[in-house]
Chains A and B, each alone.
Chain A
């Protein structure tokens, strides 16, 4: 591995090598951070380079911090210019991302932690109730129709667009959440006290398979920690 590192330095840098500065700054995602950690544990040459990077990182911060701060003149100039701008009439609407942002911003870290815990508990209970209801309805439906091949959820309100209870990962940024809502054409229909969001997807009903695929896709999203279909 050491020989490989030297070879890499003479030629093009490896992917891991190029990720080292971002690892030092703590801006890599969990997967890449793990890859870098594993490579550092294996390769002493890479670890040596990482030590140099940490020194660069520290001195760059030192250098920037030594630049001081702007004088009050900049702020005075800015607000004089703002005052000279034409008056703006506030609009009644408040965009979605701001509403979500406001919801999170109002919670303290402790409240967020408790909300997450309560949310998990409430979800387990809800999953149990939904499961029990589904089992009962399946039996009733099959007996009435005398058909064993029909999808059991066909009569569970196919007229409405699908909904899901979703909890976002703690590290999810507001921009990520709004992007996800856009991608899935989803709207928030309810933001419960337990830190869960009830989302509605699109404006047409979906088949059972489509819903299962949607939930599966949601579960695989990096910023989603939990997604469960809900009526």
Chain B
């Protein structure tokens, strides 16, 4: 995100704090897709992810006056989204799905369908990315897709900066294991 865009976001937040509905529409238009996708990757349910968006932006509407501008608006939005997503997951009590998804990858290594997929390493890689645990998935998404820095990820997830780096390293190591189980050898680790 450029400095100009970040500055424009801060202006929108200041206007929202004044009760400017139009500014809210602009901020929503600018960020709702990324918020939705981040939420969807965490909760894995489109309806729940759509409900999350409303909750996140309603919080922004209510809390805009308290936003101090110490982090980028997009970082603040993702932090709220994460908090709401984890609350929704606790309500659904189905986090164990992550392990099932991971096992599914490992168990299908001799499946003819998987054999065919081996020819499409990109497709297998995407499938393995989806099979990562929720903790690993969110850090991969924040760094690669949302292009957040070490400091910003630490703020969103609420962990020390060194933990951000090591968690991503082990997420990548797990990804390599899943790929190997699916028949894709990349020579690392």
**B165 and A59: CB pair below 8 A?**
no
Give the distance in Å from the alpha carbon of A101 to the alpha carbon of B169 in the complex: 36
**B130 and A78: CB pair below 8 A?**
no
Give the distance in Å from the alpha carbon of A24 to the alpha carbon of B168 in the complex: 13
For the complex, is B159 an interface residue (Cβ under 8 Å from A)?
Answer: no
For the complex, is B110 an interface residue (Cβ under 8 Å from A)?
Answer: no
- Quick one: closest A residue to B122, CB to CB? A59
Chain A hits for B72, CB < 8 A: 173, 175
**B11 and A105: CB pair below 8 A?**
yes
**B10 and A97: CB pair below 8 A?**
yes
Give the distance in Å from the alpha carbon of A219 to the alpha carbon of B144 in the complex: 33
Contact of A78 among B3, B28, B150 (CB under 8 A): B28
Interface pairs A-B: 3 shortest CB-CB? A98-B14, A88-B19, A60-B144
B residues bordering A, Cβ < 8 Å? Answer: 3-4, 6-8, 10-11, 13-14, 18-19, 21, 24-25, 28, 32-33, 36-37, 40-41, 46, 49-51, 53-54, 57-58, 61-62, 68-72, 122, 125-126, 129-130, 140-141, 143-145, 147-150, 152, 165-166, 168-169, 172, 175-176, 186-189
For the complex, is A145 an interface residue (Cβ under 8 Å from B)?
Answer: no
Q: Classify chain A's interface size.
A: 35 or more
**A74 and B36: CB pair below 8 A?**
yes
**Closest Cβ of chain B: how far from A2's Cβ, in Å?**
13
**Given A101-B10, A174-B7, A56–B53 Cβ distance below 8 Å?**
no
**Closest Cβ of chain A: how far from B109's Cβ, in Å?**
20
**A78 and B57: CB pair below 8 A?**
yes
**A175 and B172: CB pair below 8 A?**
no
**B3 and A74: CB pair below 8 A?**
no
**B129 and A74: CB pair below 8 A?**
no
**A81 and B58: CB pair below 8 A?**
yes
- Quick one: closest B residue to A6, CB to CB? B189
Chain B hits for A62, CB < 8 A: 122, 126
**B14 and A175: CB pair below 8 A?**
no
Chain B hits for A55, CB < 8 A: 122, 125
**B40 and A67: CB pair below 8 A?**
yes
Chain B hits for A15, CB < 8 A: 165
Stretch at the interface among A45-53, A118-126, A197-205, A209-217: A45-53
**Given A97-B10, A105-B11, A27–B53 Cβ distance below 8 Å?**
no
For the complex, is A178 an interface residue (Cβ under 8 Å from B)?
Answer: yes
**Closest Cβ of chain B: how far from A34's Cβ, in Å?**
16
**Closest Cβ of chain B: how far from A102's Cβ, in Å?**
5
In the complex, chain A residues 168-195 whose Cβ is within 8 Å of any chain B Cβ: 170-175, 178-179
Contact of B54 among A63, A67, A74, A102 (CB under 8 A): A74
